[in-house]
């Protein structure tokens, strides 16, 4: 991933959209676990690397003076077996890894073409605990402590208090009012520039929510998003959260077949062939949770897991699509 590109790049929407002052919908499936339980391991991992002695790699090398509030700038996986995870993602996407010791545990910085893509932390899951490996989504803010105050005012729970992480910046982890877990980050090395991702890089993030309107309003309060509604489908909300004319993420209804599931974030990697990549996931020890299908924006998507059970998405997206939202 080049520094001019997006560490968790934006998706492109060039169709007309209706802007809303409050409030998004990517359909999930019955595989979804309870959100807070899924990400308990990620929270533990964030606690582990947020101590004063932690020395994680910088978000960007070299640094970038740009800051893009509301942009998904990083994702981090806490996994019970780092070596298996490294083999899986290396074989699937061509990621390379640099492993270091942090507080007597292994941390791997994933790179593509020499630039950061993600972080992976090894954390053992006790046999008697119902925890699952998962990816944690980091959203850019200018001031983590101010974001904490706004989040609390709007019904969030603080899971990890704001902390300074050497080389990384200041970060905190919250659960939104519907229970979806996410992190905020004020990076000391800047934010990745806006641009369309390459295959093998993160291209999109979706919030699957039990209350899309209120969830979008919550994130709007923190990140000052503009909210757009695109291609409405009866009973299925699909809202786009945008800033500086770029779509940052969608907010989507929980599926009607699982109305009591907890809200959660899921991140998508751009691929050239979603069908072929879904088959490769299985051959490498992962699972397909939602078979490849055409998305409402015209791309082809699938939901899969790695061998440790961490869910993520595959998105086949055309090169020619525009990156900016249109009012």
Domain ranges for the chain, please list them: 72-316
On the CB side of 75, CA atoms within 13 Å amount to: 29
Which pLDDT belongs to residue 324? 54
Q: What is the bridge-based pairing of β-strands 72-79 and 96-102?
A: unpaired
Alpha-carbon distance of 164 to 150, in angstroms, equals 19
Please say whether the beta carbons of 64 and 3 come within 8 A.
yes
Q: Average pLDDT across each block of 10 residues of the chain; the chain has 327 residues. List them in order.
A: 33 40 34 42 56 70 90 94 96 95 86 90 73 90 98 97 94 96 96 90 94 96 93 75 93 72 91 97 97 83 95 87 52
Q: DSSP assignment, residue 191?
A: P
Give pLDDT, residue 183.
Answer: 98
Joined tokens for residue 150: 């706004």
The reply to whether the predicted model has a pTM over 0.75 is yes
Domain 72-316 fold: 2,3-Dihydroxybiphenyl 1,2-Dioxygenase; domain 1 (3.10.180)
Cα separation, 237 vs 84, whole angstroms: 37
pLDDT of residue 74: 95
Whole-angstrom distance, CA of residue 320 vs CA of residue 326: 16
Number of other residues whose CB lies within 10 A of the CB of residue 273: 14
Structural tokens at position 255? 């599926």
């Amino acid at each position: 991933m080049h520094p001019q590109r997006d560490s968790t790049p934006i998706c492109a929407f060039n169709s007309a959209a209706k802007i809303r002052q409050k409030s998004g919908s990517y359909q999930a499936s019955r595989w979804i676990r309870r959100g807070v339980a899924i990400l308990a391991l990620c929270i533990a991992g964030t606690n582990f690397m947020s101590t004063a002695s932690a020395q994680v790699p910088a978000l960007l090398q070299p640094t970038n003076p740009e800051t893009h509030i509301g942009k998904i700038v990083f994702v981090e996986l806490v996994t019970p077996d780092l070596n298996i995870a490294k083999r899986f993602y290396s074989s699937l996407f061509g990621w390379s890894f640099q492993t270091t010791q942090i507080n007597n545990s292994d941390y791997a910085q994933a790179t593509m073409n020499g630039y950061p893509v993600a972080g992976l932390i090894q954390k053992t899951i006790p046999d008697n605990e119902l925890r699952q490996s998962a990816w944690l989504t980091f959203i850019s803010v200018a001031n983590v402590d101010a974001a904490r105050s706004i989040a609390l005012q709007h019904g969030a729970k603080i899971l990890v208090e704001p902390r300074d992480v050497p080389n990384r910046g200041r970060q905190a982890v919250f659960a939104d009012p519907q229970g979806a877990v996410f992190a905020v980050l004020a990076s000391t090395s800047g934010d990745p520039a806006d641009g369309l991702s390459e295959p093998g890089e993160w291209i999109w993030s979706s919030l699957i929510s039990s209350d899309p309107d209120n969830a979008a309003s919550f994130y709007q309060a923190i990140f000052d998003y503009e909210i757009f509604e695109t291609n409405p489908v009866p009973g299925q909300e699909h809202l786009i959260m945008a800033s500086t004319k770029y779509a940052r993420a969608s907010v989507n209804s929980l599926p009607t077949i699982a109305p009591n599931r907890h809200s959660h974030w899921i991140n998508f990697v751009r691929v050239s062939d979603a069908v072929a990549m879904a088959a490769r996931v299985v051959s490498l020890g992962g699972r397909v949770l939602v078979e490849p299908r055409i998305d409402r924006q015209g791309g082809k998507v699938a939901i899969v897991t790695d061998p440790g059970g961490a869910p993520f998405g595959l998105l086949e997206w055309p090169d020619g699509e525009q990156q900016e939202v249109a009012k």
